Amino acid sequence: MRRVIAWCVAGLPFGARSRRAIDETLNDWTHEVREAPTRGRRTLTGVQGMLSIARVVSISIVREAVDPGWCRELAPRWGLVAAVVMLLALATAAPMADARGVGTLTVAVLNVPLLLLAVMPPAIFLMFAWRPVSRAVPTAGTACVLAVVGLALAGWLVPFSSDLLNDILRRSLGATIGSDYPPPLSRSEALLAVTGWACLVAATATCAAMVARRAPLRTHWWLAAVPAIYLALIPLFTYTIGESFLVFRSGGDPAVGFRPGIASWTTAAVLMTIAVTFGRMDVSIPTSKDFSHD
Amino acid sequence: MLLAKSEHLILTVLTSRGPCYGLELVQASRGRLKRGSVYVTLGRMEEKGYVTSSAGGDDGRRRYRPTALGERALMAALAFAGKIRLEAKA
C-alpha cells in the first residue's frame, strides 16, 4: 500500500515545497514501518502513515490553490480563449436565430457556458503546457482550482443556460414548455456526468503541468496540434456534452443514461494515468562526463 | 515578532531538546503537532530562517535545529507573552 501511494504521489505535479513535505512524511512512514517490532504495530503504523499522507497532500493542495502565482501573466491567453468562445457562440447562434426568429445575441450569450465547457480542457492544456522560462509552473493546486471551476460550469451554469435556451427555442416553435419532452438526466446520471467533467478538467491540467515541467512547449509549433486535439475530442464531446447538457431534444430521442458520465470518467482516468506515469519518468540530462571517452 | 502556535511549539522543543527529526517533534509535542502537517510548518519556518536542516541518515530523513534568528524569535515571543500576562494581572 505504501509503495502504491508513494508511486501515485510521486507522479503528481506538486511544487518544490509541497514535494519536500510529502517526501519527508513518506520517509517517516518507511522508517516507522522498519522500526515496528510486531505485526500489529506495523498495521497501526500503516494506518497512521496513510492518514498523515492524506493530511500533508490536502494541506499542500490547499496551499498551492490559494497561491495565485500560476495565473500571473496569463491574462492575454484567457482573453484569447474568451474571444474564441464568443466568436464560436456567435457563429453557432446566427443560423439558429435566423431559422427560429429569436435574437442572435441572446442565443449567443446562452451558448457561451456550453462552448466554454467544450473549449476548457484543450485550452487549459495548451495554456499551461506552453511555458516561458520565467513563468511559474502549474501545480496540483492549480488542477484542483480548475476542477472546481469545471464543476461549477458543468453542474450549474451550463444546465441553467441550457434550460433558458431550450425554453426560448420551444417558445419560438409555439410548443408548450414541459410537455412531450423527455426528462433531463436523473440525479445520479447528472452527478456522474458533472463530476466526470470536473475530473477531466483536473486530469488535463495535471497533464499540462507535467508537460510544462518535463518538456515545456516553448515555441509555437504546438499551434499545429490544436486541430488534431479537437478532432480527437469530437467523439468525446458528442458523448459527454452533446446529448447530456444541451441539445434541443424531442420526445422520440432515446434516453442518455450513464454513458456521458462513464465517457468522461474513463477519459479522465486515462489522462491521469498518462500524467502520473509521465510525471514519474526521470529525465537525465547528459553532462560533459557522458561524452568523454577516457 | 509574532510566532504561530505550531512554530512556537517547534522552536520550544528544538531549543530544549536539541536537533530533532520531524517525527521526534511530533512525539515530543504529545499530539499537538500532527504527522502530516509538521513538515509543512518546518518548511515554512526554514524559509523564514527560524530553523535549518541537514541530512540525518541513509533513510532520507532530515534533522532540524533552531537558528540564532529562531531562538531570538522565541525569546521575543516569550517576553511578549510574559508582558501580556503581567498587564492582565495588573
- What digits encode the pLDDT tens for the residues B75-89? 888 888 777 777 777
Among A101, A251, A110, A249, smallest CA distance to A174 is for A101
pLDDT digits (tens, 9 = 90+) for A32-61: 888 888 888 888 888 988 999 999 999 999
Contact B40 A52 (CB under 8 A): no
Size of interface A-B (CB pairs under 8 A): 57
Query: Which pLDDT band, with edges at 50, 70 and 90, does A292 fall under?
Result: very low
From chain A, the residues in CB contact with B40 under 8 A are: 18, 21, 56, 59-60, 63
The cell numbers describing B87, all together, are: 498587564
Question: In whole angstroms, what is the distance from residue A103 CA to residue A169 CA?
Answer: 11
Which residues of chain A lie closer than 8 angstroms to B56, CB-CB?
Answer: none
Q: Could you give the residue ranges of the DSSP H alpha helices within A153-186?
A: 158-172
pLDDT at A288: 42
C-alpha cell at A170: 420551444
- Spell out the residues 6+ positions from residue B64 whose beta carbon is closer than 8 angstroms to its own: B10, B14, B19, B20, B21, B22, B25, B42, B46, B51, B52, B53
CB-based contact B59 A32, cutoff 8 Å: no
The per-residue pLDDT for range A219-242, each reduced to its tens digit, is: 666 667 667 766 766 666 665 555
pLDDT at A64 over 70: yes
The per-residue pLDDT for A25 is 92
pLDDT tens per residue across span A119-134 = 888 888 888 887 766 6
pLDDT score recorded for residue A78 = 82
In this prediction the ipTM stands at 0.85
Task: Quote the pLDDT of residue A249.
Answer: 47
pLDDT exceeds 60 at position A289: no
Collect the ranges in chain B with pLDDT lower than 70: 1, 90
Record: contact A31-B61, CB cut-off 8 A: yes
Chain A contact probe: residue of B20, B24, B35 with most A CBs at under 10 A: B35
For residue A8, what pLDDT band results from cuts at 50, 70 and 90? confident
Mean pLDDT across the stretch A168-187? Answer: 65
Is the CB of residue A181 less than 8 Å from the CB of residue A250? yes
pLDDT level of residue A194 (50, 70, 90 thresholds): confident
